[in-house]
């Protein structure tokens, strides 16, 4: 299907879904809230006495515009109206929020005790407000939130949180791209604690800043990695070959990649090197070996190992590779120098040499695949020395936008079969052309990728949380409900979710990111029990002891029960476990404990991290007594476990 048709189809499907879905339900399900909040359409069907009774029992209600319930609670229409173009959310007053469709909105008077969350920008009339009522709360909006729920009030879920409504579940499986140049003045220990609390399982750190040894920079990175490990966070070396480092570019001008017009390939922030040159490749490999040995990484991410430019051959100032090694190699097999394709005065210019252009573009696609294969093989060789290392390959999608294949040489269908023989995670980069098409696009992307590999469990998706170049509303970058819906649907469609990048996530959004990332299919209360079905590991808010599927459950910390993927029944137990597994950065498969022993099974593509609330006296892995590998910190410790699937038995007496 052509790109335009594909995008129009996804857009129409998303629009159709938005037309049939309740926008308030969309908002709540973005963080897995399935009960405890009365929506406007339900509130209209119950009388004031019933509403008060439910509020007194701890439920909350959302009211929209004028209604008998709003009147009874002191929210009165004045008879005036104002045309709303843009708003101010008092949580983020400097964030531009613009309504795509300006709306004539009634002006309301609110009770004095109401907390105003959103105001109209020019006249300051209240548009979103709330207050406590009984044991519950009231959230009132002057208008509907928009067709899908995020078009007018981005921070509705944060407002509900302020009123005491909590998301029932949490995830700590997120991967996160981190460019340390944005975080040089922050405390790594503080940030690592915050990242883990908000659901981060792994940091993919921009390793090109540390390619060459430097005492001060190396100390900073070791401190950051140590802080991450103390909080059970994996750390990956994020490589952006053929960009190597700023110093490598300066030191080796002869190895610089060239564009089709003959310039050095400094494109956007990346400064590209010629990885087809044997001497250059040898030097880069030596540098990567040193980088991986110099720091205690848990994995490697080979990201975006293909060519420029997004405009393709039509823009020779950005088109690569056109170094002398590539030109010679192609000329040997084709009989002509590919630079002739860009000589407007010559007979082989691409505008009247379609076959020659196709031949070079196909060569370029195969060259990208060969480079990817070579570097995967190189990292696999390093894993013989460092067997705990995981490997991820970040690759832009070209199934949703097929022309990407010829523009940058990226071909998913050539690369995915390698997953069947190799041990790596394939991380799909969300295509920029689809950033404005709504969260439902992740379901479409997943449906295209899963059939192409025997290992769909090793697929992942990357959400680019950045300012979009398209005309988008109400904010240029995804925030609040829009961001949470993207995270939630992406996590439901892919086994692993990555966010690009750490510093672009607003502080206001972080507390609900983990709740949105929980891939819960359903959660309900039934006869005093909670029944939950989740596609991935999930944390459930819980106070006191618990049985999970009839077993006293030992995997718990800070008021959250951590459960394996699948369907489970939770019920209260008279007491908590005597031994608790308080931290596990791996996929939990099973667990049980008694007075002196805890046993759990897990699976992890990197080495696993675990913590208990009791000291370890004896450790068995797969039935074999093993000396524990412990990282001891000032106020905590981490048990380091092997990658793969294993059964762990720990005695504490």
Residue pLDDT, tens place only, 528-578: 999 999 999 999 999 999 999 999 999 999 899 999 999 999 999 999 999
The sign one gets for the Cα dihedral 616, 618, 624, 630 is positive
Residues 387 and 489 in one domain: yes
Is residue 2 one of the residues assigned to a domain?
no
Residue in 605, 643, 606, 653 with CA at minimum distance from that of residue 621: 643
Residue pLDDT, tens place only, 283-304: 999 999 999 999 999 999 999 9
Pairing relation of β-strands 390-396 and 425-429?
A: parallel
Residues 217 and 279 in one domain: yes
Residues 509 and 633 in one domain: no
Residue pLDDT, tens place only, 456-513: 999 999 999 999 999 999 999 999 999 999 999 999 999 999 999 999 999 999 999 9
Q: What mean pLDDT do residues 583-604 have?
A: 98
Distance between CA atoms of 546 and 572, rounded to whole angstroms? 5
Share of the chain residues as helix, strand and coil, in percent rounded to the nearest 5: 35, 30, 35
Residues 150 and 255 in one domain: no
Q: What are residue 312's phi and psi, to 5 degrees?
A: 70, -160
**Domain end residue (candidates: 117, 143, 166):** 166
Q: What mean pLDDT do residues 128-136 have?
A: 97
The size of the chain, in residues, is: 653
Distance between CA atoms of 52 and 72, rounded to whole angstroms? 11
Residues 289 and 415 in one domain: yes
Residues 386 and 462 in one domain: yes
Residues 540 and 477 in one domain: no
Q: What is the pLDDT of residue 310?
A: 81
Q: What mean pLDDT do residues 193-222 have?
A: 97
Q: What is the pLDDT of residue 434?
A: 83
What percent of the chain lies above the pLDDT cut of 70?
A: 97
Is residue 16 one of the residues assigned to a domain?
no
Distance between CA atoms of 392 and 490, rounded to whole angstroms? 18
Query: Residue 382 CB: number of other CB atoms within 10 A?
Result: 18
Residues 370 and 422 in one domain: yes
Is residue 330 one of the residues assigned to a domain?
no
**Domain end residue (candidates: 516, 549, 570):** 516
Is residue 354 one of the residues assigned to a domain?
no
Residue pLDDT, tens place only, 246-280: 999 999 999 999 999 999 999 999 999 999 999 99
Residues 403 and 255 in one domain: yes
Distance between CA atoms of 144 and 290, rounded to whole angstroms? 57
Residues 92 and 236 in one domain: no
pLDDT at 4 over 50: no
Buried/exposed code over 498-516 (b: 16+ C-beta within 10 A; e: otherwise): bbbbbebbbebbbbbbbbb
Residue 474 preceded by cis peptide, ω within 30:
yes
Query: Residue 397 CB: number of other CB atoms within 10 A?
Result: 23
Residues 80 and 183 in one domain: no
Q: Are 63 and 138 in contact (CB under 8 A)?
A: yes
Distance between CA atoms of 232 and 639, rounded to whole angstroms? 9
* 17-26, 189-198, 205-214, 324-333: least confident range: 17-26
Residues 294 and 307 in one domain: yes
pLDDT at 12 over 80: no
580: helix, strand or coil: coil
pLDDT at 311 over 50: yes
Residue pLDDT, tens place only, 350-380: 999 999 999 999 999 999 999 999 999 999 9
Q: Are 202 and 175 in contact (CB under 8 A)?
A: yes
pLDDT at 439 over 80: yes
pLDDT at 324 over 80: yes
Q: What is the pLDDT of residue 309?
A: 79
Q: What is the CATH number of the domain that holds 29?
A: 3.40.50.880
DSSP secondary structure string for all residues of 58-109: T-EEEEESS-HHHHHTT-EEEEEEEEEEEEEETTSTTS-EEEEEEEEEEEEE
Q: Which domain holds residue 604?
A: 520-651
How many structural domains compose the chain? Answer: 3
Is residue 13 one of the residues assigned to a domain?
no
Calculate the average pLDDT of the chain.
95
| Sheet of 37-38, strand order | 37-38, 60-64, 136-141, 126-133, 115-120, 76-89, 97-109
Helices vs strands, H then E, count in the chain: 17, 35
Q: What is the CATH number of the domain that holds 254?
A: 3.20.20.80
pLDDT at 610 over 90: yes
Q: What is the pLDDT of residue 158?
A: 98
Is residue 570 one of the residues assigned to a domain?
yes
Is residue 332 one of the residues assigned to a domain?
no
Is residue 596 one of the residues assigned to a domain?
yes
Q: Are 498 and 177 in contact (CB under 8 A)?
A: yes
**Domain end residue (candidates: 516, 538, 559):** 516
């Amino acid at each position: 299907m052509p790109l335009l048709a594909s995008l129009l189809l996804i857009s129409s499907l998303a629009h159709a879904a938005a037309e049939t879905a309740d926008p308030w339900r969309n908002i709540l399900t973005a963080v897995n809230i399935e009960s405890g909040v009365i929506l406007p359409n339900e509130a209209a069907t119950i009388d004031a006495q019933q509403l008060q009774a439910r509020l007194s029992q701890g439920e909350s209600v959302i009211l929209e515009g004028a209604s008998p319930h709003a009147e009874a609670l002191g929210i009165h229409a004045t008879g005036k109206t104002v045309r709303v173009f843009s708003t101010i959310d008092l949580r983020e007053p400097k964030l531009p929020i613009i309504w795509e469709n300006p709306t004539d909105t009634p002006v309301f008077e609110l009770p004095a005790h109401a907390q105003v969350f959103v105001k109209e920008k020019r006249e300051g009339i209240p548009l979103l407000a709330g207050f406590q009522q009984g044991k519950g709360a009231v959230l009132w909006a002057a208008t509907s939130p928009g067709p899908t729920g995020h078009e007018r009030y981005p921070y509705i879920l944060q407002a509900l949180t302020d009123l005491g409504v909590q998301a029932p579940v949490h995830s700590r499986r997120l991967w996160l791209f981190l460019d340390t140049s944005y975080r040089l003045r922050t405390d790594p220990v503080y940030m690592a604690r915050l990242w883990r609390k908000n659901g981060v399982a792994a940091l993919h750190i921009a390793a090109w800043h540390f390619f060459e040894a430097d005492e001060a920079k190396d100390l900073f990175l070791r401190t950051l990695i140590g802080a991450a490990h103390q909080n059970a966070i994996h750390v990956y070396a994020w490589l952006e070959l053929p960009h190597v480092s700023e110093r490598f570019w300066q030191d080796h001008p002869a190895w610089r990649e060239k564009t089709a017009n003959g310039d050095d390939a400094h494109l956007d922030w990346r400064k590209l090197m010629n990885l087809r040159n044997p001497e250059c490749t040898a030097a880069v490999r030596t540098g990567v070996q040193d980088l991986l040995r110099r720091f205690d990484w848990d994995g490697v991410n080979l990201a975006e190992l293909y060519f420029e430019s997004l405009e393709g051959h039509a823009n020779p100032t950005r088109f690569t590779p056109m170094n002398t090694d590539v030109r010679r190699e192609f000329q040997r097999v084709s009989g002509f120098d590919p630079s002739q394709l860009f000589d407007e005065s010559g007979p082989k210019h691409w505008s009247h040499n379609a076959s020659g252009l196709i031949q070079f573009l196909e060569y370029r696609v195969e060259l990208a695949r060969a480079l990817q294969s070579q570097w995967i093989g190189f990292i696999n060789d390093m894993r013989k020395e460092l067997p705990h290392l995981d490997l991820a390959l970040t690759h832009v999608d070209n199934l949703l936008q097929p022309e990407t294949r010829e523009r940058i040489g990226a071909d998913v269908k050539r690369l995915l079969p390698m997953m069947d023989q190799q041990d790596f995670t394939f991380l799909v980069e969300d295509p920029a052309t689809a950033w404005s098409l709504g969260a439902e696009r992740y379901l479409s992307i997943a449906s295209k990728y899963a059939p192409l590999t025997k290992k769909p469990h090793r697929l992942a998706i990357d959400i680019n949380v950045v300012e979009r170049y398209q005309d988008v509303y109400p904010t240029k970058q995804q925030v609040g409900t829009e961001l949470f819906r993207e995270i939630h649907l992406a996590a439901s469609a892919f086994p692993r979710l990555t966010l690009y990048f750490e510093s672009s996530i607003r502080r206001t959004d972080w507390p609900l990111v983990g709740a949105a990332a929980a891939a819960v299919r359903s959660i309900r209360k039934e006869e005093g029990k909670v029944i939950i079905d989740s596609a991935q590991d999930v944390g459930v808010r819980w106070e006191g002891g618990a049985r999970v599927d009839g077993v006293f459950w030992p995997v718990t910390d800070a008021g959250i029960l951590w459960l394996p993927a699948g369907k489970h029944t939770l019920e209260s137990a008279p007491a908590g476990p005597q031994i608790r597994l308080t931290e596990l950065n791996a996929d939990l498969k099973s667990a049980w404990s008694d007075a002196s022993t805890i046993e759990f099974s897990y699976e992890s593509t990197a080495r696993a991290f675990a913590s208990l609330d009791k000291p370890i006296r004896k450790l068995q892995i797969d039935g074999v007594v093993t000396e524990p590998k412990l990282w001891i910190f000032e106020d905590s410790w981490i048990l380091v476990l092997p990658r793969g699937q294993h059964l762990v038995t720990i005695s504490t007496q």
